[in-house]
Each structure stands twice: as C-alpha cells, then as structure tokens.
Amino acid sequence: MINLEIKQRIIAEIASRKGNYKSQAAMARTLGINPAQMSRVLKGEFENVLSDGNYISIARKLGIDLKQKEVWVTAKTRVFNFIWGQLESCQENSLSALLCDIADIGKTHTAKEYVKEHKNAIYIDCSQVKSKQRLIRKIAQEFGLIPAGKYIDVYEDLVFYLKSIDSPLVILDEAGDLDYSAFLELKALWNATEHCVGWYMMGADGLKAKIDRNLNCKKVGYTELFSRFGSKYQKISPDGKDAKDEFNREQVALIAKANGVENSHLQKVYASSGGSLRRIYIEVQKLKRLAA
C-alpha cells in the first residue's frame, strides 16, 4: 500500500515539474490521469482521488524510487557536463546530435535530470517502444497529447504541436533497439518538423554498429537519418584501457564524494562497484549503514 509520506513525495515531484508542460492538463495526460484528479491532489486531497496503481504509475514515469528516502546528489562529471551542454545546444537551436558511447557512464541519468529542469524536453526509452506506432504514440503522450485513436491523427497532431511550441527537445535513449519502421518514421517526423525541434539520439556500441551496418549495405533511410543527426558519432569516454580506468575512477570518485563518501573510502567504493555507476548507490548505502 502507498502510504501518505510516499504520496506526498510523488505529489511534490508533480508540483515541481508542472512548469515544464504547456498546461496542467497536458501534464495530467502524460501521467495517465485526468486534469480534475491532478488539480485535487495538488491542492492536498489524497483520499479517494488516485488509486495506489495510479501513484505507482506516476512514480515510474517521473523516475521516483519508492524505497529511496535520501536525496541522491547528481555529480557534475565529465559525462554530465558534456551531455548537458549538448542537450542545451540542441534544444535552444533546434539541432540534432548522435551520441554513441560505452554503457554505464551516466548517459541516461544525465538525460533524465535535464528533462526534469527544462520545459518542452522529453525523454524516451526506445527499448520500451521499439515499433513505429508505439514510438510515435509515446512521444505524443510525453508532450501531453492524446496518444489513443487513429495513428495518422496522432502523428499529424504531434507534428502540428511540435511546430507550435517553443524549442521542443526529444531525447531518444537506447535508440539501437528501434525496429526499421521506427527509424524510417523518425526520419519522416524529422523532415516534417525541420528547424522546429531539437533531437538527441543516444546509445551504446550496438547503435553505432547497427547504423554502420545499414549504411554499408545502403539500406533505405539510414543515410538520410545519419545525415540529419549530424553525420558523426559523438563520444566522451577515452580509448585505451589505462585511460578508461582513469576515466571510470574519476567518475566514481565525483559521484561518491557528492553523496557523502570520505576520500579514505573512495578506493573501496570503486573496487566494490567494479567501476559501475549503477552499483555506486548500493555501495554508498552500505557504507552509510556501517557508519550509522
């Protein structure tokens, strides 16, 4: 059961982000509730307004960890600063860019943090919406449009909306998981909204391999799509084992220190996490429990 404290955390997060949407009704549609419900909970009405299922769904969409009570501090790592700057440039100037780099260096976390603080910027996990229809409907929903109904109507409403708002940005993470029809539809959507939308496509080595393979075999649409996303792969992590080890140590140290780990424990965090950013939270919590 979702208790009052968790409900209050979720509603506080909704309130902090509602300025990122064109209207409160648009945000409500994005979260899968109706505007009247959203208005009531923002006024402090918690009883018999939303179900536990609604709260769980909203927490998932907003990236709220129901177990985590302590605030996790985002460190300004090399990856964070690079991607944040690129996202700002893409959004402000309606540009497109393509980032292909190794996994587990903070790409996803940075993108999600950026979306929290910027109006008309959305994040899409393409691994969850691999087909053309699911991708376009998800983009529409994240902008607060109605994703149901005839596909052609959803698509045309989305094009119209993107051309009518200020500096929209679409971040496409795990883009290598998209199927061929989705890539072609992205090209079409890019064409229909040229000079109106910023696009940022991210993925690991698999995305680069997929694009290169299809470029080499001259598969229809890939040359055009690659061109529209800048005709080059952006990369942050260095080459070479020693350089990568130093890069990983620097990232782990910055994140651990930002979240209260003393210098004397940094090596232990790095060794225990194996340099994985996804494991740092677990290792930091272990240290805090030992110190308590």
Each residue's pLDDT tens digit, 141-173? 999 999 999 999 999 999 999 999 999 999 999
Distances (CA, A) of 49 to 3, 30, 43, 131: 14, 17, 11, 34
Pick the residue with more confidence: 162 or 5? 162
Between CA 198 and CA 207, with CA 201 as vertex, the angle to 5 degrees is 160
Distance of CA 191 to the CA centre of its chain: 23
Q: Identify the pLDDT of residue 69.
A: 64
Q: Both 178 and 281 in a single domain?
A: no
Full domain range(s) for residue 253: 241-291
174 in a structural domain? yes
Q: Both 142 and 191 in a single domain?
A: yes
Domain-terminating residue out of 204, 228, 252: 228
Q: Both 218 and 284 in a single domain?
A: no
Pick the residue with more confidence: 91 or 274? 91
Picking from 131, 161, 130, 129, the residue whose alpha carbon sits closest to that of residue 146 is: 161
Residue 206 clears pLDDT 80, i.e. is over it: yes
State the amino acid at position 106 in one-letter form. G
Confidence tier at 63 by pLDDT (50, 70, 90): confident
Q: In 252-270, which positions are buried (b, 16+ CB within 10 angstroms) versus exposed (e)?
A: bbbbbbebebeeebbeebb
Q: Identify the pLDDT of residue 230.
A: 92
Q: Identify the pLDDT of residue 23.
A: 86
Q: Both 9 and 139 in a single domain?
A: no
State the amino acid at position 251 in one-letter form. Q
Burial of residue 88 (CB within 10 Å: 0-12, 13-18, 19+) is middle
Q: How many domains does the chain have?
A: 3
Q: Both 141 and 275 in a single domain?
A: no
Q: Mean pLDDT lowest for which of 9-23, 132-146, 230-244?
A: 9-23
Write 183-192 long-range contacts (CB < 8 A, 24+). 183/221, 183/222, 183/225, 184/132, 184/220, 184/221, 185/132, 185/135, 185/136, 186/135, 186/225, 187/221, 187/224, 187/225, 187/228, 189/136, 189/139, 189/155, 189/158, 189/159, 190/96, 190/225, 190/228, 192/159
Q: Identify the pLDDT of residue 44.
A: 85
Query: Mean pLDDT throughout 99-115?
Result: 95
Q: Identify the pLDDT of residue 5.
A: 85
Q: Both 214 and 100 in a single domain?
A: yes
Q: Both 173 and 116 in a single domain?
A: yes
Percent of the chain with pLDDT over 70: 98
Confidence tier at 292 by pLDDT (50, 70, 90): low
Q: Both 121 and 213 in a single domain?
A: yes
107, 83 Cβ separation under 8 angstroms: yes
Residue 267 clears pLDDT 80, i.e. is over it: yes
Q: Both 114 and 205 in a single domain?
A: yes
233 in a structural domain? no
